[in-house]
């Protein structure tokens, strides 16, 4: 992580009105820092690959991440807290026109905020953007890596435009960029009814399976719709039966059984095993590629799995 981004995060953390993560909460893995700390030939090759294939987006992503903090001064001094039906409709229409594929709403639990990170509001809008299926099918590859970086950029741009719209309407908002966010997006998305955490720790959505990127907008709006649902909880049982990502993971990084942390957060992946493969193989993405929810329609998997369960009972 660059010094500027670290300083901006610290400045937000030091604000008296900010909300902090728990001391035993989740820790955000520093991809860039760990890339630089690795040694040996494979480490140098990884750095060269990341620079070569990610360079067109790196500077733009850093700029956009910084803007989620530097533009906080543009929030209204006395923001509105109740959104009108018209503003909400226009917000969602603008989101979809900017490539967002699904929207959900929830409240922010403190255990979802990363350690030593902070946010300003507990009301959350969660955004989902699909990643290109053909490029995921090529994972791990430079083409997949470039597409993932572009997805981060496109979703970050959508967040920026949507935050600007909310502020113009009199609401306060803090953009949560899809890259290096300050909270656990998959958990927020699950709470917002957008899907269910799968065995690989990624959110399985009915629209795109795990083939997507997530972002959030934290806002002063207190009357956001309730989109929570338990209709996707069956995915957990399916993942326990399937285990395809567990078997195919090159680093054997996906836990056989998820690990519950003291904060209540559940971990699905051993980062120490995942990261070397992630670094050396263009961000990998193999667990997305092999997931049945990436390959077949959600409803088809659900109906067949429920039929199988009934037949076995």
Predicted pLDDT of residue 114:
96
DSSP lists the bridge partners of residue 126 as 104, 216
Predicted pLDDT of residue 46:
77
Reduce the secondary structure of 156-194 to three states and give it as a string.
HHHHHHHHHHHHHCCECEEEECCCCCCECHHHHHHHCCC
Q: Helices 234-242 & 298-312, crossing angle to 10 degrees?
A: 80
Phi and psi at 268, nearest 5°, equal: -110, -15
Distance of CA 306 to the CA centre of its chain: 28
Q: Is the dihedral of CA 40, 28, 173, 128 positive or negative?
A: positive
pTM value surpassing 0.85: yes
What separation in angstroms does the CA of 280 have from each of 45, 186, 223?
A: 8, 25, 45
Reduced to 3 states (helix: H, G, I; strand: E, B; else coil), residue 269 is strand
Give per-residue pLDDT as tens, 60-100: 999 999 999 999 999 999 999 999 999 999 999 999 999 99
Report the run of H or E that residue 26 belongs to, with start and end.
Answer: none
Q: Tokens for 313? A: 């009972």
Q: Is the dihedral of CA 73, 74, 77, 80 positive or negative?
A: negative
DSSP lists the bridge partners of residue 209 as 205
What is d(CA 46, CA 186) in angstroms, rounded to the nearest whole number?
A: 27
What is d(CA 289, CA 145) in angstroms, rounded to the nearest whole number?
A: 13
Predicted pLDDT of residue 1:
57
Predicted pLDDT of residue 4:
87
Predicted pLDDT of residue 133:
98
Predicted pLDDT of residue 313:
57
Predicted pLDDT of residue 31:
85
- In the predicted model, residues of the chain with pLDDT beneath 70 are 1, 313
Predicted pLDDT of residue 19:
96
What separation in angstroms does the CA of 206 have from each of 166, 232, 295?
A: 28, 8, 12
Q: 290: Cβ–Cβ under 8 A, 6 or more apart, which residues? A: 244, 245, 248
Predicted pLDDT of residue 38:
79
What separation in angstroms does the CA of 245 have from each of 39, 88, 202, 258, 259?
A: 28, 38, 11, 13, 17
Query: Do the beta carbons of residue 207 and residue 125 sit within 8 Å?
Result: no
């Amino acid at each position: 992580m660059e010094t500027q981004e670290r300083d901006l995060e610290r400045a937000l953390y030091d604000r008296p009105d900010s909300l902090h993560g728990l001391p035993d909460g989740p820790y955000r893995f520093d991809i860039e820092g760990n890339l630089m700390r690795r040694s040996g030939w494979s480490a140098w090759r990884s750095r060269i690959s990341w620079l070569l294939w990610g360079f067109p987006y790196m500077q733009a992503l850093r700029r956009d991440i910084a803007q989620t903090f530097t533009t906080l001064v543009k929030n209204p001094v006395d923001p509105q807290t109740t959104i009108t039906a018209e503003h909400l409709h226009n917000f969602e229409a603008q989101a979809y026109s900017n490539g967002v594929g699904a929207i959900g709403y929830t409240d922010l639990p403190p255990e979802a905020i990363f350690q030593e990170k902070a946010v300003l509001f507990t009301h959350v809008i969660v955004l989902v953007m699909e990643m290109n299926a053909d490029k995921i099918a090529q994972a791990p590859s430079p083409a997949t890596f470039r597409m993932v970086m572009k997805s981060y950029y496109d979703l970050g741009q959508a967040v920026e435009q949507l935050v600007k719209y909310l502020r113009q309407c009199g609401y306060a908002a803090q953009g949560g960029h899809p890259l290096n966010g300050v909270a656990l997006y998959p958990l927020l998305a699950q709470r917002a009814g957008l899907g269910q955490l799968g065995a690989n720790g990624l959110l399985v959505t009915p629209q795109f399976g795990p083939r997507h990127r997530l972002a959030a907008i934290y806002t002063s709006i207190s009357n956001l719709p309730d989109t929570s649902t338990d209709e996707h909880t069956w995915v957990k049982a399916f993942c326990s039966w399937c285990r395809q990502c567990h078997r195919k993971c090159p680093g054997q990084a996906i836990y056989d059984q998820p690990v519950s942390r003291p904060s209540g957060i559940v971990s699905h992946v051993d980062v120490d095993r995942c990261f070397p493969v992630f670094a050396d193989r263009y961000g990998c993405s193999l667990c997305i590629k092999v997931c049945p929810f990436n390959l077949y329609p959600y409803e088809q998997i659900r109906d067949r799995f429920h039929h199988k369960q009934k037949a076995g009972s």
